[in-house]
Chain A
Amino acid sequence: MAYYSPTAILTDAQKTPTTFSLAVPALSPLNNSAPITPTTKLDLPLWLAEMLAVSKPAGPSSSALATLDMPAALGGKVLNALRADPRSVELRQQAQWFYGLGERMLELFEEEEMGAVLLDTFKQRALEIADKAQNTRTAQQGGDSGDFMSGLDETERQLFRAAHDGTHAVKKWFETTSRT
């Protein structure tokens, strides 16, 4: 992803559970000034956690500073729910940039199955987004759209906006050319 893309920056700022495997005194500000010992668990932003997980300290021990765990948003519970019915899960409650987080995790872990579930989820939800974006006016009056939107993650919201803008622009052209 692009360096200056706000999407990429915000995606990387999401928290991931990280378990330290060494004592790291210099990083104690991360832990509210409490000392960091092996087995300390912290929720760190993805960019920081990734750097800690891949960097190896100089010295005899060959293990990395910390190990990454799968964030709860991509845990078994959520994936099972997605497998059962992709449309009923409120992805935004899991993570604001749910798919972005998923992509980053797929880069770091070999998780063939999670990738398949995410792809399938996205496809099915995209169809629903296309339908909902068609008739926002009726949906907004019924108050249904608000609920629906609150369950979408940011990528899906952009998709919703793109679909809606397309229909809206065509309608606007028809209206302006009908005048005079």
Chain B
Amino acid sequence: MALPLPPGLTPSEVGFLCEMEQVTVIPRQRLDGLELLGGPTEALRPPFPTPLPLWLALLLKKQRRANITPPPWLSVEALTQILDFEMDERTAEVFSPSPDLPAATTTAPLEGDPYLAHDSLELSAPFLKDAATSRAQADALPYHWLEVGHLLLTHAADDFDDPDTVRKLLRDLREVRMSKLRKGFKVLDAGGGVKMNGVGGMEIAEVRGFVGGVVDELRRLNRSREESRREREAEERENGLGSSSYRDDEDEDML
């Protein structure tokens, strides 16, 4: 038998991965650059802000060797603005957008979008640089917003101007977005999809088991109907459409 783990990342795995995010620290002590498996870190020279992986930053924070600068989106103003967007009736259908993608470095053979091409390598959601450093975009929640926000608020609360308000705003955001996700469950169908642009890693990990189960079962229930529909279409193609060459052309275009 295979591993008893469900497919996809579990919430604790997502939480572990978020510790690889870079955050900006303001060191209090000198420290030479470290050669880590994930790449070398910059040397720490107080008082210059330096990007470090979150886990290392938290470790230094606990030892009082550094302070962490919270990313711009983890401020009262930015979170209030995002929360307003989430609560607005006009945008009730969508999640607040994720940060802008960096400009594409390659030109795609496809007209328009190099992110969809197979042979180019463009970074997108979980791998975006500077999602949680002080250079992060202020008006958008990055992929690991919930995890990074929680870890920083728990272990580096004294680096925030107003940790309690930020904590409250984060909790509100989580609840608003969760209820939006739940509303999205209603449109789940055997062939349908839910638009999940801007949904964070932890939120996806939380609902993955349920959504996967629902879609699997819907597809199983729909299978016989789908098969008979395909057979009917195949028959129609064989029987009646030899005369109309127009439809044949259309079918080939679809392939």
Contact = CB atoms under 8 A, between A and B. Distances in A.
Interface in B1-54: 6, 10-12, 15
A161 to B, nearest CB: 8
A42 B224 CA distance: 27
A46 B151 CA distance: 53
A166 B214 contact: no
A75 to B, nearest CB: 18
Given A103-B224, A162-B212, A127 B217 contact: no
Interface in A147-180: 155, 158-159, 162-163, 165-167, 169-170, 172-174, 176-178
B207 interface: yes
A169 B206 CA distance: 8
Given A115-B222, A162-B212, A122 B217 contact: yes
A115 B227 CA distance: 13
B221 A166 contact: no
Main secondary structure of the interface of A (DSSP, over half): helix
Interface stretch (B100-108, B180-188, B240-248): B180-188
B60 interface: no
Interface in A15-29: none
Contact of A166 (B15, B182, B206, B217): B206
A106 B185 contact: no
Contacts of A131: 182
Interface in B112-169: 150-151, 154
A165 B202 CA distance: 13
B214 to A, nearest CB: 5
Contact of A126 (B15, B185, B202, B209): B185
A170 B202 contact: yes
B209 A123 contact: no
A118 interface: yes
Contact of B209 (A103, A122, A165): A165
Given A103-B224, A115-B221, A122-B217, A170 B190 contact: no
A174 B150 contact: yes
Nearest to A120: B221
Contacts of B202: 170, 173
Contacts of A112: 225
Interface in A91-141: 99, 102-103, 106-107, 110, 112, 115, 118-119, 122-123, 126-127, 130-131, 133
- 8 smallest beta-carbon distances between A and B, as pairs: A162-B209, A163-B210, A106-B224, A169-B11, A159-B213, A170-B11, A166-B206, A173-B15
Interface of B: 6, 10-12, 15, 150-151, 154, 182, 185-186, 188-190, 202, 205-210, 212-214, 217-218, 220-225, 228
